[in-house]
Amino acid sequence: MRGNAPLAQALRDAARMLVRVAAGRSLAEEFVRAAEEGIETPRAALLDLTHGTLRRYGRVQFMVQALSRRGQPDALLQALLWCSLHALDSGRYEAYTVVDQAVRACALLERSSAKGYVNGLLRSYVRQHALLEGRLRADPQAYHQHPGWWIDLLRDAYPRHWEQILAAGNDHPPMALRVNARRTSVADYAARLAGAGIRAKPLGGAALLLERALPVERLPGFAHGEVSVQDAGAQRAVHCLDLAAGQRVLDACAAPGGKSAHILESADVALTALDVDAARCARIARSFERLGLSGTVQVADCTRPDTWWDGVPFARILADVPCSSSGVARRHPDIKWLRRASDLAAFSARQAAILQALWQVLAPDGKLLYVTCSVFPQENEELVGSFVARTAGARRLPLADGQPAQWLPATQHDGFYYALIQKQA
């Protein structure tokens, strides 16, 4: 942001985006809108302010409420104050700079009458910071920066690790790469990174973990398909799917296509990638083209086999099902605040319907790998256990990598759940 855009302008644009997120729109939709409207603030600056603020949303909400002595301001001013508090906490600017630029942003937002109020509240925050920190600890939602229902679910499910999971959800996500084994080796690509001054360490398989995140344009060979960006937890799918040459494989909820591509990079199989969204299917096709891969991409709802299945069963099925995304909340910090506790029942019903439909197209002795990027047992262990218990011929298998089904978010990977189910003949 330094030198690229005035902070006042960036605060204005970020506040406009966040007021819409607070009203229920996704942050991804807001970035699409910003690109279409040609907002002058650089994307990197908006990412920093919006993602940083939403990772601390419970905290900044608490601070505004605690410091506002004339009642709560209107929604746009609240959003400006949230972003300004994040800028103060970030340590990237002197406090007087943030206060000055936030006051200037009032005029840019047509809220000139609120300049004194914004100035006073932010100065009070600077003076009373230590006192407010003590008060904040008594408010779980503000302290852990997650909704209360989310905190309760994790505390019940992971009595020893719930605080660790919440802390990870507020952190910056790691950036991992997947080396395309059809074009280069992990060792050779790591050497190319080192030659370009980019530090990375191998995580096993095709995964490399970057020491620092960077734009894909800086990755050697990215445009020529030598490497992709994919979390190490997501790369686990290929290791657990038990692939072999010649198999007929289905990726049933394939978009954006990272796991499909990894399957084709790893084994000579006949892959069909399904997704219900045509635009996302086009993205899968573009990814295959960049990576030099060949697979069938089809727009279809996997729960309706009568509309897309040719009657030939699949030896392997990957069911990376829609879920709460609670294991990747640090990548999409609006998710924590857009989700509701009642959403879990809807996700579970959809997941159960997908499993039931895909079971029909799985070959005898075939294997289905159920995957979510969730840490909630309602979408994972409870759902899979219920499916296996009620489904004749369904047998749970140990995972080939010897790791537990549930990976919690950590410094090297996001939170993912994997369960391998065999259809006994």
Positions marked catalytic: 373
Burial 338-369 (b: 16+ CB within 10 A, else e): bbeeeebeebbeebbebbebbbebbbeebbbb
CB atoms within 10 A of CB 184: 19
Q: Give the residue carrying structure tokens 């209107």.
A: 74
Give the span between the Cα atoms of 350 and 302, in whole angstroms: 11
The total number of residues written for the chain in this structure: 425
List beta partners, residue 317.
250, 368
Helix or strand or coil: residue 120? helix
Dihedrals phi, psi of 288, to nearest 5 degrees: -60, -40
Token output for 290: 């960049």
For 257, how many CA atoms within 13 A lie in the half-sphere containing its CB?
29
Token output for 330: 């640090």
List beta partners, residue 362.
314
Tell me which DSSP letter residue 409 carries.
Answer: P
Give the span between the Cα atoms of 276 and 422, in whole angstroms: 25
Q: Give the residue carrying structure tokens 């997650």.
A: 146
Give the span between the Cα atoms of 220 and 226, in whole angstroms: 8
Token output for 167: 């802390």
Look at residues 299, 355, 363, 297 and name the one whose alpha carbon lies nearest to residue 322.
Answer: 355
Q: Give the residue carrying structure tokens 């392997």.
A: 316
Q: How far is CA 80 from the centre of its chain?
A: 25
N-terminal to C-terminal alpha carbon distance within the chain: 60
Percent helix, strand, coil in the chain, to 5, is: 50, 15, 35
Dihedrals phi, psi of 416, to nearest 5 degrees: -135, 155
Distances 400 to 155, 193, 325, 403 between C-alpha atoms, Å? 29, 30, 24, 8
Token output for 94: 């002197």
Token output for 74: 């209107």
